[in-house]
Amino acid sequence: MAQTQPDYYAVLGVARDAPDSEITQAWRRLVLVSHPDKQQAAGKSASPEPSNDIVLINEARAVLSDPAKRAAFDAQYEAPRPPPAAGPRIREHVSLEVFTPHPVDEPEKYTHPCRCGHEYVVTIDDLEAGVDVLGCPGCGEYIVVEYEEVEE
C-alpha cells in the first residue's frame, strides 16, 4: 500500500508528541504566514484561491487537534511493517533416519548433505538436549531434524 498521505506533523512542524496547544499555535503561525494578504504584503504573488499549503495546514490541524482522528492518523501513518518471520528460514524437515550416522565419532554424530555441498551435523549430545533446528555452515539454510526421544 502506497504511502500517499502527508505527514501532518511535518506540515505543522511539530513533534509527534506535541500537545494540542502547540499544534494550534503552529497552525495559527502557519496560517498567518501563508495568508494571501501577508504574501501580497511580502511581495509574493498572491492568488485569490487558497493555496495547497493552507489547505494542507488546515487539514493537518483538523486531524491533529481531534484526539480520535489523531490517534487514527498515528496508527495509520506509523503502522509498523510486519516484522520478518521470527527464527531461521526452514528449508525442509528431514528424518534422523536418513542422516548418516558416525558412531565412532566422539561425541557420536549424524550428518546429512546439504544441496550446497556442505553438510548438516547433529551430535548425540544435541539430540539429547532437544536440538532439532540445524543450520548449514555453507549456505546458511536450516532444516529441522525429526526424531523420537531415544529410550535407553
Residue type, 152: E
Q: Is 57 in the site for Zn ion (CB under 5 A)?
A: no
Output the smallest distance, CB 92 to Zn ion, in A. 12
Looking at beta carbons only, is 60 or 143 nearer to Zn ion?
143
Choose one: 17-25, 44-52, 88-96, 129-137; the region binding Zn ion (CB under 5 A).
Answer: 129-137
Question: Binder to Zn ion among 90, 98, 139, 146 (CB under 5 A)?
Answer: 139
Q: How far is the CB of 57 from Zn ion (least distance, A)?
A: 57
Grid cell 532437544 is found at 130
Nearest distance from residue 133's CB to Zn ion, in Å? 14
Please give the span between the terminal C-alpha atoms of the chain, in angstroms, as a whole number.
56
Q: How many residues bind Zn ion (CB under 5 A)?
A: 6
101 touching Zn ion, by CB under 5 A: no
Q: Are 118 and 106 in contact (CB under 8 A)?
A: no
Q: Which is nearer to Zn ion, 91 or 102 (CB)?
A: 91
Cβ-Cβ contacts under 8 Å for 146 (sequence gap 6 or more): 93, 94, 95, 96, 132
Smallest gap from Cβ 88 to Zn ion, in A, equals 13
User: Of the two residues 122 and 136, which places its CB atom closer to Zn ion in the complex?
Assistant: 136
Q: Is 137 in the site for Zn ion (CB under 5 A)?
A: no
For 92-95, which contacts have Cβ atoms below 8 Å and span 24 or more sequence positions? 92/143, 92/144, 93/143, 93/144, 93/145, 93/146, 94/120, 94/143, 94/144, 94/145, 94/146, 95/145, 95/146, 95/147
Residue 138 within binding range of Zn ion, rule CB under 5 A: yes
Which stretches of the chain bind Zn ion, using CB under 5 A? 114, 116, 118, 136, 138-139
